[in-house]
Amino acid sequence: MSEEIKLSPVEHFKQGSQHLRGDIPAELVDENNFFGKGSVQLLKHHGAYQQDNRDARGQGGKAYIFMVRSKIPGGRLTSEQLLAQLDLCEAIGNATLRITSRQALQLHGVLKENLHQCIRLINQSQLTTLGACGDINRNVMCCPSPANSEVQREIERLSDAIAEHLAPKTRAYHELWLTDPASGEKQLAGGGEEEVEPIYGKTYLPRKFKIGICTPEDNCIDVYTHDLGLIAIHQAGRITGYNVLVGGGQGVTPVNKNTFPALGQKLAYATPEQVLDVITAVVQVQRDFGNRANRKLARLKYLIHAWGLPAFKAKVEEYLGAPLAAPTADDVQGFNDHLGWEEQGDGLAAYGLNIENGRLQNTDALQLKTAVRQICEELKPGIRLTSHQSILFTDIAPENRDKLEAVLRRYGVTLSADISAARRWSMACVAWPTCGLAIAESERALPGMIDQLEAELERLDLSNERFTIRMTGCPNGCVRPYNSDIGLVGKAKDKYTIYLGGRLLGNRLNFVYKDMAPGGEVVAMLAPLFTYFKQQREDGESFGDFCHRKGKDDLLAFAENVATP
């Protein structure tokens, strides 16, 4: 290489961190209520984000708090583990628990003085926060179907195997969070045998890395949006192999015209025996060739864009030490949100409960958290979190179905069957006031917009139409707005970019319809398009497919004619 690459500051933090330790141990016990810049970046790998509650800012400056995320492969956990998280949110969080769009759980409002206790107690419930954030493989997503089938069990086993295989091997996590400070045990012993990260190396990955697994009939985890996606190909109830997709990613930086959302491309077909080695090779190529100078261009999608898929495939084959088979024609065909009652095939059933924007909380009108707690305590179901931020209660015996619904009604929780299609297929990121990247409201704004949209759809007799609405407070795209039927992306305070023309199936990007739309006018801008959709839709055509077929100019022309007849 003719000239040395100037690394980003985060790369220097990782390089000098002694495998993710850095200054965290000293700063964890100092008098400040915050961490320094280097520790803030390293803490992400341990599952914690330093944030600032902008609603609580005063003359004293920033109100520092922490978000702590648990890594839960496939969103599978027990009632006891969910109860432990509910206890934590009440004891040391902000009394709410949030389900993420990647099937994980987040505690919000944790103070620095409680951070060690929080992570330690999460581990005592047999969950972990290691690798939930940071420049490593994040939570492995997997279809949460309760179906008692060998295909479902196999993709679940694979999600667990990937999570274990790609978990950081550093001892820093145990030393920092799992050692009791009162025991007198030395937490961060220096010297000794040098640690080795067999896959990541000393500086881990250039940027976060996301993996998800689905089946052709159910792409509920949005497989095309991952750095690496796996479509499980199966015949006669057995998985024969996986179509491997690479290069998906949703984040965009508007001021950098070289950034863009991308959907994964088919790289290869891998057998069940080979797939873990193929994943490792892809990760290692990204490790060695991903952009470490500019974090805005560091995701795998930009490496593939720069090289082209054939060159990337050749490099993966070099690392693998074997040729890759061509992908098959198999592709995604369906999308199940898993809400309502679903038979498991073993005499038991699962109930999918819609959790609006993933927030488990109690309000004057809705005691959602109490209802979930009582179901877990009395019925002890299995728990599965969905990619739409909702909960599946699994293994429900026939005699307990009415009991579960009765608990929900008792605490004012609307049953999934009674929720509008628009609300059922919507989701929002956390955004304001706690996410440091948010420039507009999202979680607190979307429910009101859905209220307005429901009225418009009912007026047009379109209440049963299925289409995805996804809203983010910034362009980073945490709830995957760029492949949805309607994407609302924060661009400035109370201003949004409206995207149209994606689809529920998740395998098409949408396009910019309008930019800098005031939040209070978003539904009014969408309403004429639903009128147009009702008038000129083709048989079986979805709203996203209609917008894609008509295109931006045609839609704008119709809306303008409606506004100025």
Catalytically active residues are 69, 138, 208, 210, 429, 435, 474, 478
For 277, other C-beta atoms within 10 Å of its C-beta total 16
Exposed, middle or buried: residue 1 (CB in 10 Å: 0-12, 13-18, 19+)?
A: exposed
Per the CB < 8 A criterion, the answer to whether 350 and 396 are in contact is yes
Looking at this protein, which amino acid is placed at residue 130?
A: L
Q: Give the span between the Cα atoms of 544 and 500, in whole angstroms.
A: 7
The CB-side HSE value for 59 (13 A sphere, CA atoms) comes to 0
Which residues fall within 8 angstroms of residue 5, CB to CB, at 6 or more apart? Answer: 292, 293
**487 phi and psi angles, rounded to 5 deg:** -115, 130
Give the type of residue at 83.
L
Report CA-CA distances (Å) from 312 to 192, 211, 267, 322.
Answer: 39, 18, 9, 14
Task: Report the distance separating Cα 246 and Cα 267, nearest Å.
Answer: 6
Cβ(523)–Cβ(559) below 8 Å: no
Distance CA 557, CA 559 (A): 6
Residue 560 has phi, psi (to 5 degrees) of -70, -40
Taking CA atoms, 308 is separated from 247, 263, 302, 304, 345, in Å, by: 11, 14, 10, 5, 44
What is 529-546 written as a DSSP string? HHHHHHHHPPTT--HHHH
Q: Closest Cα to residue 71, out of 140, 118, 134?
A: 140
Strands 486-492 and 495-500: antiparallel
